[in-house]
Structure 1
């Protein structure tokens, strides 16, 4: 605002001088020179280095750890570390060195930034945030200066807010704190990281403003070892994908301001969304509300959530309409997947559709029995069978296969490779790196071919089921898992 007023006054003065007959050429020259010097200083980072984002306590008074769902373990571990900041008098009496840094690691969308903001509220600290990419410039020395400015800004912000604690949050710290020696053009990356190490080493418990650095990354393998050693990042908190109970908590948080219909079952939605992050679940709830609005519905129903799960997983519906022959082939393909899925585990099919979404012309969605983190050989072989069932169904029902199975084959080979690497193949425990490629190929091919023969027998015995499912899919484009199971019971009895 002050800058705009100054420019306006200057322009008015020059115009007045021009009207009065004065030669304003020298003034224009001086103005141009001053503007050039100011621009050069800005580019070099010498003036107005960075106005880092500052969030006052008043703006986040309603945000706390209670607003974060599905991360009970991470929150507990983080709170334990933050208690050292809150109880600084006790730790000084016991001679405990204060924590200088906390590193939040985990997949994207799991709530690392939210946890940093909640940590600032928990410790009643001034909050200053930045991103790792904001420190790297083509000019040498700018990044290091911005690091100094960041910590200085944190202390000044805390002083203005009359607080004793300040929390500095750096997102995507792998850009700023990557392993040194990788960049050969200039040492800007290394200088910036060195300055961060110096700033962290200078944090003391008896400072007027106690500064805690909290950083987030999903690529902790890229960080420099000097940054990870004790005395800098003293705690590494894993913020992982939520389990089923965690997903239920997150769904409750994101639907508390939405009118839900009586048929909505959040428990079922939580079960169907294995592998979803908090960001995925927030998008799911939002997409369901959008679908309800499009239908002029005053409430969000279960079918809105079911449709939104498909959209978040696969993308929006595409306008392209395959030919009738292609539609039939896709229907046969997806029916094959669904049939094998039900054979190996009853009740596993959630929906079968031939509606094009993203890169897929159709798909079969499974309902996981439970969140699984360890896989047995039987489980992996069943997954290979399900992946192969689409192409086998095409061959048996239609007489040939298509290129639509290439993605399924890649997944099947990866699952077979997992069996090999886990020591569950006929070779037993092996070193994959020293295993001859010919023997490795033969073993993986044998696993896949064995499951393919198994699938062929299942498909041949159940050929009569395909006519009904394909007919319904071509007419309605989608079959629910319950309806597919009804068809199987009718045809098998």
Structure 2
């Protein structure tokens, strides 16, 4: 409860207490009989009264029978004078007969009388003041509605520097010029050079775009304004444009500085594609941003940095020279980059001597910086759960599997028959992958359930590659279909365990035909143009630029590629049926087979070639 609400409650309780006291006093008075001053004089004459207490013209009368009554005298004369005027004698008022007590006037009488007149006015003034404050707060909220919500970080005590960013050496080299300009702008200005006004950081999620922007601010030691693109856009038209103006005004006041707009695609989408027309709030905000970026002078010393993982949907006016005229690409790190990132994240963590980060880097192809940070954190959690004082290689290796496939489901109970089907399914994957010269080597086979998978087979490449040959894609398809082929050969039946494998195989085959031009029948052409429906979230529609006849040919070619891959997987398993049985039997015994043990059972028929990002076939 807020302090304001608490004060309201206190005032309410105080008011209730006052009302209760007044009502109690009223009830007390109402239970005592009221007599006139004449009756009091008669009672005194009849010697029935023993004591009279006077309190500010109010009389409290006590009779010989111990009963009490109340009366009131005139304020212009004393009690004795009034009684004498009513026929009471001095002898009847003698102290031995009647005890008369006269209390002095209370100091609160005047105060209470004044309060009776002043309190209503105070209550009225307080009500007006409360209403005024409420209206003023509403006006302040309305006036600040168009203010920028950017958070400013001073560069006095940087928390992130280039030393905290690894695996993106080329991007750091590009941004060192920005840092040098912010430190020594005259070095560039005196040569007539103009530093880029805007730097666009492009890369997949988790590659460190936001971290790199903070590192630039930390290295330069200048203020850093951080805001998300979605914070500009509101329901009311014009609010986003007002916030953009306010943000750039703040930046000019704190120049030199860095303005970082995260997820700029939320406001920088290509114009003319929405349903709102030119008065659309998002387009108004983008227009204002374009104008503000053009308004910078060469001596403003403000660098605009923005991050996005979808540069293809940004408006061309935003990317032209003079605005975001430098693009820094942060790609997925290679094996050396992953090792450097792991070194950054293991700082301050106790590691056992057997931990080899180079092995972990080779075992995590395709991982980005966020994945590797999560990997190290999962390993630390596992070590703590096992009551260890340091993290060993075993925790890191298990953490890799947790990141790829999810946690183990040891409590899952399955029948012996289902366990046998899963063992042959995974053995089918492993044997087919090992028999193909173009497939990556098998690293691990297990029938322990993880995540949604009942078992899985992991094949990792020996080195990173940026392009994928057609033979390798075919080998991946054949390896993925090895599980279904093993089920059919051994059990003369098929199960739903190959659903994910078949989905991935179909996707690879269709991509080869329609996107990569790897079909001999369809030729080196791209079929269909993908369009994003902006107002439907991430839904993607495909604009067909081919006829129904071509669509039938595409379907037939995809079907041919998948069927040929399946037949090749069957032939391999029939040829190496003894190896299939041996691997499956070993899985039923120990549940998990490492690469060394697998190759003792089934040595690779031919030397393996280099590979591409990891493929994990799961049941």
The alignment's TM-score, normalised by the length of structure 2, stands at 0.71
1:64 aligned residue:
161
Alignment partner of 1:34 is 2:129: no
CA contact (8 A) 2:145 2:239 kept: no
Q: Which moved more, 1:346-355 or 1:129-138?
A: 346-355
Residues in 2 aligned to 1:320 and 1:194: alpha-carbon distance in whole angstroms: 56
Contact 2:516 2:526 in 1 (8 A): no
How far apart, in 2, do the equivalents of 1:203 and 1:171 lie?
A: 20
More deviation, 32-41/225-234:
32-41
Does the residue aligned with 1:54 lie in a helix, a strand or coil? Answer: strand
Whether contact under 8 Å (2:178, 2:195) holds in the other structure is: no
Shift of 1:238: 0.5
Deviation at residue 260 of structure 1 after TM alignment? 1.7
Q: Secondary structure at the match of 2:305?
A: strand
Matches within 5 A, 1:102-117: 102-117=199-214
- 1:55 maps to 2:153: yes
On the 8 A contact 2:179/2:220 being kept in 1, the answer is yes
Report which stretch shifted further, 66-75 or 185-194.
185-194
Structure 2 vs 1, CA of residues 29 and 221 (structure 1 numbering), >3 Å: closer, same or farther? farther
Find the partner of 1:124 among 195, 201, 221: 221
1:90 aligns with 2:187: yes
Partner of 1:247: 338
How far is 1:41 from its partner? 4.6
Give per-residue Cα distances to partners, 1:294-313, cap 9 Å, x unaligned.
11122211121111111111
Corresponding residue for residue 46 of structure 1? 144
Out of 427, 430, 435, the position equivalent to 1:343 is: 435
- Cross-structure match for 1:457: 571
Distance 1:17 1:449 in 2: 86
Q: 1:234 aligns with which of 316, 325, 328?
A: 325
Matches within 5 A, 1:157-172: 158=254, 164-172=255-263
Is 2:479 the partner of 1:386?
yes
- Matched residues in 2 for 1:6 and 1:450: separation? 75
Worse overlay, 296-305 or 282-291: 296-305
Note the C-alpha offset of 1:29.
4.8
Identify the residue that residue 561 of structure 2 maps to in structure 1: 447
Look up the match of 2:414: 322
Instruction: Classify 1:9/1:204 alpha carbon distance in 2 versus 1 (closer, same or farther; 3 Å).
Output: farther
Change (3 A) 1:234 1:443: same
1:481 aligns with 595
Aligned pairs (5 A) from 1:192-231: 192-207=285-300, 210-231=301-322
Report deviation, 1:10: 9.8
- After superposition, give the CA deviation of every residue in 1:263-296 in whole Å (9 maximum; x if it has no partner): 2221121111111110000000110111111111
1: distance between equivalents of 2:457 and 2:143?
A: 54
Cα distance in 2, alignment partners of residues 294 and 255 from structure 1: 18
Larger-Rg structure: 2
Is the Cα contact below 8 Å between 1:98 and 1:204 reproduced in 2? no
Corresponding residue SS for 2:524: coil
Q: Which residue matches 1:403?
A: 496
Contact residue 397 and residue 463 of structure 1 kept, 8 A? no
Distance in 1 between the 2:371 and 2:424 partners? 30
How far did residue 183 of structure 1 move? 4.4
- Distance across 2 between alignment mates of 1:10 and 1:95: 65
Query: For 2:236, which of 96, 121, 139 is the aligned residue?
Result: 139
Cα pair 1:124 1:165 within 8 Å, conserved: no
How far 1:40 moved relative to its partner? Answer: 5.7
C-alpha distance in 2, partners of 1:490/1:393? 19
Q: Say whether the 8 Å CA contact 2:148–2:244 is kept in structure 1.
A: no
**Does the Cα contact within 8 Å between 1:81 and 1:235 map onto a contact in 2?**
no
CA gap of 1:371–1:34, structure 2 versus 1, over 3 A, is same
Distance 1:232 1:406 in 2: 48
The worse-fitting range, judged by mean Cα deviation, of 401-410 and 77-86 is 77-86
Q: How much has 1:216 moved relative to structure 2? A: 0.5
Spell out, residue by residue over 1:48-85, the C-alpha distance to the aligned partner (whole angstroms, 9 max, x if none): 8345322222342x521121110011111222344344
Question: Pairwise mapping of residues 427-442 of structure 1 onto structure 2 (< 5 A)?
Answer: 427=521, 428-433=523-528, 434=546, 436-442=550-556
| Correspondence for 1:425 among 516, 519, 522 | 519
Deviating beyond 6 angstroms after TM superposition, the runs of 4 or more aligned structure 1 residues are: 4-19
Structure 2: tracts of 5 or more residues without a match? 19-114, 529-545, 606-619
1:469 and 1:25 map into 2 onto residues whose CA distance is: 89
Larger CA deviation: 437-446 vs 184-193: 184-193
Change (3 A) 1:322 1:50: farther
Shift of 1:459: 0.5
Distance in 1 between residues matched to 2:149 and 2:527, nearest whole Å: 51
| RMSD after superposition | 2.9
Contact 1:144 1:195 in 2 (8 A): yes
Aligned mates of 1:395, 1:32 — CA distance in 2 = 79
Query: Aligned pair count?
Result: 478
TM-score by structure 1 length?
0.89
Q: Which has the higher contact order (CA 8 A, sep 6+)?
A: 1
CA contact (8 A) 2:510 2:558 kept: yes
CA offset digits 1:399-457 (Å, max 9, x no partner): 11112212212222232234434343332434434370121122222222222222111
Structure 2 contact 425–487 (Cα < 8 Å) conserved:
yes
Q: Determine the structure 2 residue equivalent to 1:312.
A: 403
- Asked if residue 333 in structure 1 is aligned to residue 425 in structure 2, the reply is yes
Q: CA deviation at 1:359?
A: 2.4
8 Å CA contact 1:314, 1:358 repeated in 2: yes
SS at match of 1:117: helix
